[in-house]
Structure 1
Amino acid sequence: MSASASVVDGSSLPWVNGRSVWESMEPAFRENIGSSQEAALDLLSRYHMRNLWLDPETSRRIDHIRTDAGYRDLSEAYHDSVEEAYFMGGEVDLTAEGRFVAGDYFWRPPGWVHSAASPVGFEAILMMEGEDADEGSDRVSRVVRPDEEAGRQARAGDVGTVGPRGYVRRAETRFMVWRPHDDSVTRLGGSGPLRSKVLSENVDTRSASVLVRSVAADWVARPETVDRERFIINVSGAVVVDGRTLAQPSLVRIPAGAGGPQIAVASETELLVKVGGPR
């Protein structure tokens, strides 16, 4: 029997300080945050998170994060996992990609060296893909690299590699046009027209991350059963799931082979929809 959909009320989760999640991090990540555990924990004290999804088997995770003013990574580094983020507020400078504000997005293939610095603090949905052969992604890790390698691909054997989605360095979605939504992959269905912006897409499997909004104020849908895993996160506005109103950001996960719950949104609600490859 297929697994059923999961609903996470993200707005009801307590903020957890980074120091408290040290032990739950992948060893290959936490052991490379700073030159010592003391330095790493000091940095993590300025990092706060709500975990929306965690798969220990693949190391995939989706977190709602925010940082205090003055947050700065202790070194340049790359990940063996794909990293993806949608920004909801504040400002952060990433040495590989530039300055990010609300509405900006990146999809970074494994191996690209970067660090983050935020004088004012920032808020984002941060996603680490974990093990996924279709995306060229391995387990979550952090590999420290010299400062001069910032913005370069430094993983052995992967020089120049951008993977099946390319390297989306900074998509400024406020400058992207809302287009009529192609529902052939997301399969949200619904009672009214949708508009969307494709943030990244796998050219081989058509897995994608898409920003979606309803044109009508009374849009209602029940995502149909498909052979792809889907995550739906309301990054702006409230979403109503089986009659339960969830403030931003909350998460609905629909496994491959499972049908979705009834989803309704009001006007101005924007949904970040992550669709995996066929299973």
Structure 2
Amino acid sequence: MGPSLLVIILLGIVEGLTEFIPVSSTGHLVLAGELLGFHGAGSATFDIVIQLGAILAVVVLYFRRFTGVAAGLLRRDAGAIAFTRNLLLGFLPAVAIGLVVYKAIKAMMETPVIVAVALIAGGVAILVIERLVKQPRVFSVEAMSWRTSLGIGVIQCLSMIPGISRSGATIMGALTLGVERKTAAEYSFFLAVPVMLAASAKELWEQRDALGGNDWGAIALGFVVSFVVALVVIRLFIRIVSKHGFAPFAWYRIVVGTAALIWLLVR
């Protein structure tokens, strides 16, 4: 039996709330699915594909930025070329490594204890990086060097472990490489588009024969809910980061990960 309407809506809300903040949307979906009784192979496909709703929110909110880059590429504008190059360099490591470890990732998504531990470890890492990070020297995606973009892409691959957080790994990687906070967050948003499109396309292709009408309906509803919620969260996240940094999210990860670990071990 598939998930109920309420479970689909709740998971869509969880995805929209957590996709772009450094707390791991996949980790939250795994734990929420465990709590709500929706887990297993089918839940992994649902969790991966509804992320496209949150990705669409980025495209909508930054539509002028993307169209401006497209127009700039036609004019061979240096800034547009640098923007596109930096996204591609950040994206390629995830493709190369993801193809190798894909099955292991799917298996970990069915192991909630791994998620809880990764949430705690990621929270501690954010607190350490926030204290150690030096003065930024890069203030736009276009100004990032190819080495910086590729380095962030490699660090992003750590987020293939459920609970680490793609946005968290990308943003923290960018900070350690000299990118300022707002630019690091926006680069994470932009990089999510090709990364999640590729992950969702691969998952849908591999599961094309297993998905039925009810599955597509659940995915569609989760997609819409995550899209609407993410529209609000993205703007709010930028404001919070600009004023308070990433420490609040680190402490949240540690508290939630600890509570989840205790629950999983004693239930």
Task: Note whether the superposition's TM-score is higher than 0.5.
Answer: no
TM-score relative to the length of structure 1: 0.26
Larger helix fraction of residues: 2
Select the structure with the greater relative contact order (CA < 8 A; seq sep ≥ 6).
2
**TM-score, normalised on structure 2?**
0.26
